[in-house]
Amino acid sequence: MKRDFLFTSESATEGHPDKLCDQIADAIVDRLLQQDPLARVEAESAVSTGILFIAARFAASANVDVPDLARQVIARVGYDREDFNPRTCTIMTSMGELPDGPRIAVDEAQLTQEQIEHVPARQMANVFGFACDHTAAMLPLPIWLAHKLARQLAAARVDKRLRYLAPDGKTQVAVEFRDRRPHRIHSVTLIASQHEAAEPTAARLREDLLGHVIDAVFGDEALRPDSATRIFINPDGPQVAGGPALHSGLTGRKNAMDTYGEYARHSESALSGKDPTRIDRIGAYAARYAAKNVVAAGLAQECEVQLSYSIGQAQPVSVQVDIRGTGKLTDDEIAERVMRVFDFRPAAIVRTFGLRALPSRATGGFYQRLAAYGHMGRLDLALPWEATDRVAALRD
CATH number at residue 22: 3.30.300.10
Residues 370 and 280 in one domain: yes
- Evaluate if residue 100 carries a pLDDT over 60: yes
- For residues 38 and 112, the model is more confident at 38
Strands 40-48 and 51-59: antiparallel
Closest CA to 338 of 285, 282, 391, 276: 391
Residue 116 lies in a domain: no
Residue 178 lies in a domain: yes
168-217 pLDDT tens trace = 999 999 999 999 999 999 999 999 999 998 889 999 999 999 999 999 99
Residue 321 near residue 304, CB atoms below 8 Å: yes
Residue 118 lies in a domain: no
Beta bridge partners of 173: 9, 188
150-161 pLDDT tens trace = 999 999 999 999
The reported pLDDT for the residue numbered 106 is: 79
Cα dihedral 281→282→287→289 (10° resolution): 130
DSSP tag of 1: -
Strands 165-178 and 5-12: antiparallel
Q: How far is CA 115 from CA 273, 308, 343, in A?
A: 27, 21, 14
301-331 pLDDT tens trace = 999 999 999 999 999 999 999 999 999 899 9
Cα–Cα distance, 342 to 334 (Å, whole number): 12
Average pLDDT over residues 95-116: 79
Residues 161 and 232 in one domain: yes
Residues 257 and 384 in one domain: yes
The reported pLDDT for the residue numbered 241 is: 85
47-62 pLDDT tens trace = 999 999 999 999 999 8
- Domain limits for position 172: 5-12+141-243
- Work out how many domains the chain is built from and give that number: 3
Cα–Cα distance, 193 to 173 (Å, whole number): 18
217 membership: H or E segment, kind and range = helix 215-218
Average pLDDT over residues 223-246: 94
Residues 154 and 298 in one domain: no
Residues 74 and 170 in one domain: no
Closest CA to 76 of 38, 36, 30: 30
Residue 350 lies in a domain: yes
Residues 156 and 225 in one domain: yes
- Evaluate if residue 120 carries a pLDDT over 80: yes
251-284 pLDDT tens trace = 999 999 999 999 999 998 999 999 999 999 999 9
Residues 206 and 284 in one domain: no
Residues 263 and 389 in one domain: yes
Q: How far is CA 101 from CA 104, 127, 275, in A?
A: 6, 24, 12
Residues 276 and 383 in one domain: yes
**Which are the contacts of 117, defined by CB distance < 8 A and separation ≥ 6?**
314, 315, 345
Residues 219 and 362 in one domain: no
- Hey, is 356 helix, strand or coil? coil
Domain-ending residue, one of 184, 216, 243: 243
